[in-house]
Amino acid sequence: MICDLCGKESEDSYKAIIEGTEMNVCADCARFGKVVGRKAAPRKEEKRGVVQRHIEKGPELVESVIPEFYKKIRQKREQMGLKQEDFSKMLSIKESMLHKMEIGEFIPAIALAKKIEHVLKIKIVEQAEEKPEHAMAQRKAEGPMTIGDMIKIKEKK
């Protein structure tokens, strides 16, 4: 039987309640929850005639704020003769948030960065290519996907 949590093949299995969910787990994973019963009935794995295709997706375009955005914002605001107070009102943000942006402590969200671009007529958002990372691609173990592959278990100290 395959453990629902770690995916290990085990002849000795337990029915346990982990985080409020009843699962069929191996002896090692049974310690993470309350054991309800021993030797759970093995699941019947049905084989279907469905063919799974792996479609390779190209790189995604991701928008991000350029590293030197804060210098550009401050220089352009000063060129236009705007005070931080006035400029923050134009953007509908707090003055303290604008101050933190201008010293580089706060990176604006893409929506706010685009609003700044529009008001100041500068370019601070760039598009970069990023390959999508899939959880299945990162797995090292062979076999079916388990809950344990998707979560990290915090052990009690």
What are 130's two structure tokens? 């990023």
What are 77's two structure tokens? 């605001």
Band (pLDDT 50/70/90 cuts) for residue 157 is: low
Band (pLDDT 50/70/90 cuts) for residue 147 is: confident
User: Which fold would CATH assign to domain 60-130?
Assistant: 434 Repressor (Amino-terminal Domain) (1.10.260)
What is the spatial distance between Cα 93 and Cα 85, in angstroms, rounded to a whole number? 10
- Where exactly are the structural domains of the chain? 1-44, 60-130
pLDDT in tens, 110-120: 999 999 999 99
Tell me the mean pLDDT in the region 21-35: 87
Cα dihedral sign, 16-21-25-30: negative
For the CA atoms of 109, 111, 113, 119, the dihedral, rounded to the nearest 10 degrees, stands at -150
Neighbours of 67 (CB within 10 A): 11
- Cβ neighbors of 87 (< 8 A, separation 6 or more) are 77, 98, 119
pLDDT in tens, 55-85: 666 677 889 999 999 999 999 999 999 999 9
pTM (two decimals): 0.48
